[in-house]
Structure 1
Amino acid sequence: MEQVAMFKLDEKETWRRVEERLESARLYKQFGFIRRESKITPSYSPRFHGNTFAISKPSEDIAIWNVDREEQLQREYEQVIKAVSRLSHIQRQIVEKRYLQDEDVTDIYVYTDLHMSERNYYYAKAKALYRLAFALRLETYEDAT
């Protein structure tokens, strides 16, 4: 009988995706949503393709994109805040200070501010980010092939 192979977590990609989502949440909290605007002046450029008979509606496309993107960012921000609130106290402090504050701070600032050793800080940070990855469904797995 063949043994079932477990999926192996791609740690680097998972870590990158969680940090990217946290950075996106921080920027949304800090700046809000910046809407796209349509161009008023025409840009003349040669178009080398056949007729597609598609009607271009740039103002409508931009309006739809603005509404959809704002809803998506709001939903992602709320998911991040909800997931962070469910972490343990020290993990929540690490994530909030390192990723969700208004200014970009370094790890050394955070672990000295929290009166932690470097080793304990990185252990708690790794646990927090992996818990967030699973809570936000951002984990990625390596191919088994």
Structure 2
Amino acid sequence: MGRRRTHPFITVFDTLSIDYSATRAAVEKRLEEVRQFRQIGFVRQQAGMTVNYEPRFHGATHVISKPAERTAIRNVDREAELIRKSELLDQAMERLTKMQREVIERSYLDDEGEYDFISCGEMGISDRTYRRIKADAIRILALAMKLEVYVNDRVPEACKG
């Protein structure tokens, strides 16, 4: 049996005070967001045609409401943000090994939505190995995409840039 190689990101991950469950949730949320964007595309928000009731207090009378302009700006900004997140995920996926990349694609990015035990059977690995590979890949993605959540929301001095 050969020695298992560890990724340099994983050793860094173990030395920091990181909240593992919150970090995993942040990575899974980002993966789901990118999966929906890649499968469906960007769904633009439409400007409302009817005005909502809004109390008008007298004060700054020079303020103008521009709902169509706000909606257009929000649509452009949101689409650009989703494209940036998708590109960042692609760059982060390049850091993974072939097996880790396949596990992440099967678990989160494919549109088939099959269970993990089916994926491990098709890949020819045990459930435990599959979960270990998946956890390591999520750790690497968290650090590569800067989604790690620190305990007590305090960033260590060594990580400030």
Q: Does the pair score TM above 0.5?
A: yes
Deviation at 1:40, TM superposition (A): 1.7
Distance in 1 (CA, whole Å) between partners of 2:54 and 2:37 is: 38
Aligned residues: 139
The separation in 1 between residues aligned to 2:149 and 2:135, in whole angstroms, is: 16
Please report the RMSD computed on the Cα atoms of aligned residues, expressed in angstroms: 1.8
The structural deviation recorded for 1:144 is 8.2
TM-score, scaled to structure 1? 0.88
Distance in 2 separating the partners of 1:19 and 1:134: 13
Aligned counterpart for 1:51 among listed residues 51, 59, 75: 59
TM-score by length of 2: 0.80
Whichever residue aligns with residue 35 of structure 1, its letter is R
Residues 83, 136 of structure 1: 8 Å contact kept:
yes
Any gaps of 5 or more consecutive residues in structure 1?
1-5
Structure 2: segments with no counterpart, 5+ residues = 1-14, 155-161
User: Take 1:55 and 1:109, find their aligned partners in 2: how far apart are those partners?
Assistant: 57
Say whether residues 1:115 and 2:124 are aligned partners.
yes
C-alpha distance after superposition, 1:14-55 (max 9, x if no partner): 000000011011000001100011112334x25164434321
Q: Is the 8 A contact 1:35 1:66 kept in 2?
A: yes
Query: Are the equivalent residues in 2 in contact too, given 1:7–1:144 (CA < 8 A)?
Result: no
SS at match of 1:72: helix
Take 2:57 and 2:114, find their aligned partners in 1: how far apart are those partners? Answer: 50
Residue 143 of structure 1: SS of its match in structure 2? helix
CA distance in 2, matches of 1:70, 1:46: 29
